[in-house]
Structures are given as structure tokens and as C-alpha cells.
Structure 1
Amino acid sequence: MPDTKLLLEALSALSGCNVESTTGSSQITPHDFITAVALRKYYKQQGFQELEYPSIGTLSVHDDEDLYSSPPPLTEGPGESLKPKVQINLQDFFHPQFDYDFTNIKDGDKTFLRGNENYIRPCGWNRAALYVLDKYSGGNQWLGTGNDAWPVSYHAKNIDGSLGVIVAHKGKPDDTPGFLEAGAASVIQEHTAGNGVYSTPDIKMAEKYCKTFKSKVDGKTYKVVLQNRINPQKRAVCQREDLWVVYIPDGKNDLQRRAIVQESIRPYGLLMKPA
């Protein structure tokens, strides 16, 4: 298992919170964590300044290196003292038995499947497993390797709707989907760029858009990505085949948005590598 202080720094960097360890009960579960991280990005795309999340409180949607602000903010971001404090019990948040260090692994031409879909393993990364076994109704098939398993996706901080639009499907159900330009898609159909939570099955794409942070533990800079399983019934493929989206329709309230994300994305690994 990677250094626990380093793991807390990685979680803090992804969430915009000050994540600390506790010997008591965790304030949030891994599932709550990915939901908050995903919705934080979504709310930012929608022009909101804050996200209210149960058990966490008020989250600023802006990071220290805010790429979306125009003009640039007067301050670099919310100060450490202003960020919500989140406490987790490392023993019930992480599952070291299933850690896997891909740092020196090269798959080459090898292929892997999860839910009958290609699984690009995170070679070059070190994975700290999250404690998600036996946490969902219906068993653990979603986390397996068989036909009932959910495909693997990677959530990176800067992947959003500007990278692609949902595939438009016109005509009969068995017709081949047609690709539309983003402008045409926004006029013809309701699925427009930005209306959802984006991830990718390609770890190389995730790395390109991932969050980085400088550790106070060892002074090094690290990249961090969340490894998830995504519900194939809730996922739409974008114009770019390496981009997936969980669509959130307009007009949904906070509770409904959380429910959509929670039934669509389940995290199981925190990935890190030196930048």
C-alpha cells in the first residue's frame, strides 16, 4: 500500500477538501467520494460556484489552478483553511489486499476484457484499492471479469464535454449510429456537450487530462486518476470513441443528479504515478 499520507494528499487534490485520517467512522464512502468529485466537475461546467454535498458540506468547484475563470481570479483558489475537512478511516476506505502495482508492467499486444469490453490496464501506475467489495446490492459481479461485469473507465479531472458529444442515433434501432458535429448535435438533440459526467476507457487519455499535485510528504509531484466501473446501461459513447458520458438531463435537482451518478459509476481504485 502506498504511503497513507500520500493517499490522503491525492484524495484532497481530487476533491478540493482537506482529507484526514480518523480512527472513528469514515465521513464518506468511496462511492460518495467519486460522486462528489464527478458532480464538482459537472457543476463547474454548468456555471455554478459551489456544490452542496451531504456529509461534506459546501464545496467550491474551483481549483487552485482554475482554467475556466475569465478574467483570472484574484486569488489562486480556496485557501486550505476554507476547504471542508473530510475524515476517513483508512481501514474501511482502502482495501490493501487488492492493491496492484502496475509501475513496471508493459502489456504490449495483450488484451483484457471486463464485461466483454476491452480493458486497458493502467500500466505505469500504482493502484491503491478502495473498499467496495460487498458494498452494493446484487453481489460483486459488477467488479468481476465475466459477462456481467461493468466495463472499466478512468475519471480524470479535466475530462469534460468540450472533448466530444454523445453519438446521435437516428432511424431504426439497428441502424448504425451517425456522428454529428457538436454544433448540429446541440440543435438537433438534447444531449449536448457538458450535460453529464465524462470518463474514458483509455488510461493514456486520462493521464493527459489528469490532476497533479505536489506532495508535502516527499516533495515530488504526482499524477492522480480514479479507476471505476461504469454501468453499460447508463453510459453513452461520445463522438470520440475514447470518451464516455453519463448523461444528466436538464431540470434535475441536486438529489436526482446524485442518484444518476451513483447508479452509473462505481470506483474501485486510486491510481498514482510520479509526474
Structure 2
Amino acid sequence: MPDTQLCLDALSALSGCNVEQTSGASQLTPQDFVNVVALREFYKQEGFKELEYPSLGTLSLQDVDERDLYSSPPQLTEGPSTAGPAESLRTTLKINPADFFHPQFDYDFTNIKDGNAKFLRGNEPYVRPCGWNRVALRVQQRYEGGDVWLGTGKDAWPVSYHGHNMDGSLGIICTRGGASANDDPKFLDAAAASLVTGETKGRGVYSTPDIKMVEKYCKKFKSRADGKSYQVVLQNRINPEKREKCQREDIWLVYVPEGCTDVKTRAIVQESIRPYGLLLRQV
């Protein structure tokens, strides 16, 4: 497993929180973590400034991490805090590496090249994250129904990658034929309106099955562990029954209908996306 501080810094960059190590219980599970990352992106698209999440309270959606927040060590002296307003907006999140990461299943793809080799997950193409180092998340035996979703067979969930600022600005028009298109008239109305008005934004959470695609939208950060700069991406499995394929084959959408409450929106994300890897690459 890469340096623990490096992994915590990566989690900080993705979540917009100050993620720190604890010997007690983690405040969030890996599933909670991907919920926070996805919901932050979604609510930012919707124009909100804050996100309420159980066990964390109010999270600011302001992008405070474009600056180098780790250029100097934390203030250790007593007295008033010297942290700037950007840093003070970040919620502190405690993670216990022992119950959050699963080093047994780490896999370093840094020097691997698959060439023309083909891989499948859930009978769908799996583009492995060659060039990246994967830190495994502890997700086994944490879901009802066992770990079939995490396997390699036909009943496994396909792999998706979640980047940063992946939204309707990519120029996406959703196609018919997915689960929501069949079940939700609002989805068809939105798709029809997009064809008429030229509006391409689908309401929801975006991800991609193509690691090359997500590389354009991955988060960058400077680690306190070694002072080097890295990119980070979440590797997930996506529920094929909850995902909408878009006109662009390299983009998938978890559709969130208009009028959903915060609780319903969180439930949609939790039913649709499960994380299992934190991908790191030095830049």
C-alpha cells in the first residue's frame, strides 16, 4: 500500500474535506465516501453552495482546493488560527486506515500495458487503469446480497471511473433504452426537450467506463507525504439497472429526477455506485 498520508491526501482532494487519520472508527465507510464525492459534484451542478451529510453535517461546496493547501505544515503554536478562509471552510473527516483500506487487494498497474488484451466485468468491457496504482477499499461483505457485484462473472457490476467536474457540459444527450427511460416519463420528457432546445445536460451523476476519458477530469493535489503532485480517481462498480448510457458511449449517467429530496437523491447514488479502488498517479 502506498504511504498512508498520501492516501489521506488523495481522499482530501476528492472530498473537499481535511481527511485525517484516527485509531477509532472511521466517520465514513467507503460507500459514504463515494456518496459524498458524487453528491458534491451533483449539487454543485445544481447551483447549491452546501451539502448536508449524516455524521459530517454541513459541507461547503466551494472549491477551496485549487490552491496548494499543503505547502507548509499545519500551525502547531498556540493562539489564533492562521488558516485562511479557504482552509477554514473544510470539514475535518476522520478515517481509520485499518477499516477503510484493504491492502490485500491493492494492485499496481503503473508499469502494465494491456495492448489488445480484453477484459470483462458483468459481460461489459473493462478498461483496466494501466499507468495507475490502485489502493483497494474495504468493501467486501458490506452489502446485502454478498460480493457478486464485485466479481468478474456475468452478474458482476460493470466498472466505472469517477472524475472531477464531469457533468452535462460535456455535451451529452441521453439515449432511450435504459432503465429510467422505460420507467420514468420525466426522463423521456427531459431527453425530448434536450433534442428540441439543444440543451445537452442530463440531471444526475456522471462517470465513465474509459480510464483515458476520466484522465481529463481527474483531481490533482500535492501530497504532504513527499511534496510530489498526484492525480486521483475513484474506481467504482455501477449498477447496470440504475445507469443510463448516453449518446457518447464513454459516458454513463445515474439519473436523478427533478423534485427528489436530499434523502432520495442520496439513496439513488447509494443504490447505483459502489467504490472499490482509489487510483493514484504521480504527475
State the partner residue of 2:90: 83
Secondary structure of the 1:212 match is strand
Per-residue deviation, 1:192: 6.1
Matches within 5 A, 1:114-125: 114-125=121-132
TM-score by length of 2: 0.85
Task: State the match for 2:118 in structure 1.
Answer: 111
One of 171, 194, 213 as aligned partner of 1:186? 194
Q: Deviations over 1:154-181 (max 9, x none)?
A: 00012112111211359xx9xxxxxx9x
Aligned AA (2:149): W
Aligned partner of 2:147 in structure 1 is 140
Partner of 1:131: 138
- Residues 47-72 of structure 1: CA deviation (Å, up to 9, x unaligned): 10110111111111121367xxxxxx
Is the aligned partner of 1:37 residue 2:45? no
Q: Structure 1: which 5+ residue stretches go unaligned? A: 67-76, 174-179
SS class of match (1:79): helix
Q: TM-score, normalised by structure 1?
A: 0.88
- Change in CA separation of 1:127 and 1:153 when aligned onto 2, cut-off 3 Å: same
Q: Distance in 2 between matches of 1:266 and 1:123?
A: 21
Aligned counterparts of 1:35 and 1:78: Cα–Cα separation in 2: 26
- C-alpha deviations, 1:206-227, integer Å up to 9, x for none? 1111110111221211000000
- Does residue 237 of structure 2 align to residue 229 of structure 1? yes
Instruction: Determine which of 161, 172, 183 is the counterpart of 2:168.
Output: 161
Q: Percent identity?
A: 67
1:269 and 1:41 mapped to 2: Cα distance? 19
Give the counterpart letter for 2:259 in structure 1.
Answer: G
Q: Which amino acid aligns with 2:276?
A: Y
Summarize the alignment of residues 44-55 of structure 1 with structure 2, pairs less than 5 Å apart: 44-55=44-55
Q: CA RMSD in A?
A: 2.4
Helix, strand or coil for the counterpart of 1:150? coil
- How many pairs align? 256
Q: Deviations over 1:18-61 (max 9, x none)?
A: 00111111100000000010000000000101101111111111
Q: Which amino acid aligns with 1:168?
A: R
| Greater percentage in helix | 2
One-letter amino acid of the structure 2 residue matched with residue 218 of structure 1 = D
Q: Structure 1, residues 209-247: CA drift from partner, whole Å, max 9, x if none?
A: 111011122121100000000000000011111000000
